[in-house]
Amino acid sequence: MKFALGAVALALAAPVFAQSSVNIYGVIDVNGSYTKGHSSLIRENSGGLNGSRLGFKGSEDLGDGYKANFVLEAGINVDTGSSAQGGTLFGRQAYGEIVTPTYGKFSAGRQYSSIYWATDGFSETGANPTGPSPFVIGGYGGYEPVRGNSGATPATQPGYGSSLNGGPVRVNNSFRYTSPTYAGVTGSVLYGAGEVTGQTNQDRLWDGSIRYTNYGVDALVSYVDDRAQGSSLANTADFATLTLAAQYAWDAYHVEGGYLHVNDKRSGLATGTAADGEGFWLGGDYRMGNHLFKTQWVQNKQTHLSDSTTNAYGLGYQYDFTKRTALYSWLTRFQNGSNAGGGLGRYNTSIPTGLTTVGDDNLTEFTVGFRHFF
């Protein structure tokens, strides 16, 4: 009798299980680099082409064109075996999503902002600290996308891993609506709640974007307004970031570029001290069988600080053994103005102590790495 009842239960449940799926996936990406500035450094790094990760992705068909999806994605530092994104378990992404047949998608959790989409999807280097990447413009380890990781940034800003909304690249406590695609155009709006009692409008992030994809053209316009109220002006963040990015592909050629502008909206700052600024990048690649040849230029400068420009130039090569496994390399030159990054230069990630000095802050880096999808 128990066997019969169990068989009936399994038979009834089978159609439900047949409509759902969970996938485990990941990336192992590790590289070695030699960097020469005032002094030299050899080190091993994680995430050159793609950030190393372990992820779980699921989907269930709810019927009538509706679906329920989820993503849980943990960042991994392959060089040390530690967790990335400050040790957060699912620090890359963690969200649930409802997909409708007519009205678009609704999602909530820890999600990418459109700054990430623009700098990762429209760059030869992606959103990774290798080569002349948009990391030179900042916006990752340190939020403020003009001074970069070398510059002074308010310690309580969301991008410094505070208990606020986590932005602007990955936004905690966020709600997103993504429209259906009409004639190649898709819109998205995101709100990140700061979750600070009595400061609903002082601790929050708004993100709006429009993307067009058609006829080999892919273009994105992004606007992110991020605010975190600190105990003093020095610890308060109020930045608006406008990003424009586009790419075009034809035959074996592919070109892309972007522009990022930051407006420091904090009131009470002395004239000429606001952290306004802008950054550019322009890249392209050519594929010949398994060989991919790349080049990219990145520039960053602050509006109110003279001789603050950084130019990064790079040449890259990638050999694809298969669609999942590749070897890659970058040769990059960073030319820093005397006031770039607070006078000690700007780099594609934070500059190790002693690698540059005031007056000797240019850098040359050569990287060789390995990437595998699973």
pLDDT at 343: 81
User: C-alpha angle 87/177/129, rounded to 5°?
Assistant: 35
Strand runs (DSSP E) across 236-290, as ranges?
237-250, 253-264, 277-288
Task: Spell out the SS3 assignment of 27-85.
Answer: EEEEEEEEEECCCEEEEEEECCCCCCEEEEEEEEEEECCEEEEEEEEEEEECCCCEECH
pLDDT at 276: 83
- Count how many Cα atoms sit within 13 Å of the Cα of residue 179 in the half-sphere of its side chain: 14
Count CB-CB contacts under 10 A for residue 198.
7
Average pLDDT per run of 10 along the chain, which is 374 residues long? 43 50 97 97 95 97 97 96 89 96 96 91 91 75 34 36 51 94 97 84 89 97 85 74 95 96 84 83 98 96 88 97 98 94 84 92 97 98
Q: How many domains does the chain have?
A: 1
**In-domain check, residue 108:** yes
Query: Which two three-digit tokens encode residue 68?
Result: 């329920």
**In-domain check, residue 233:** yes
The span from the CA of 232 to the CA of 229, in Å, is 8
**In-domain check, residue 77:** no
User: C-alpha angle 364/351/317, rounded to 5°?
Assistant: 40
The span from the CA of 125 to the CA of 316, in Å, is 9
User: C-alpha angle 54/178/283, rounded to 5°?
Assistant: 65
- Judged on CB neighbours under 10 Å (0-12, 13-18, 19+), 289 is exposed
**In-domain check, residue 200:** yes
**What domain range is 218 assigned to?**
101-373
pLDDT at 235: 67
CATH number of the domain to which 196 belongs: 2.40.160.10
- Judged on CB neighbours under 10 Å (0-12, 13-18, 19+), 259 is middle
**In-domain check, residue 240:** yes
The span from the CA of 82 to the CA of 88, in Å, is 10
**In-domain check, residue 341:** yes
pLDDT at 15: 47
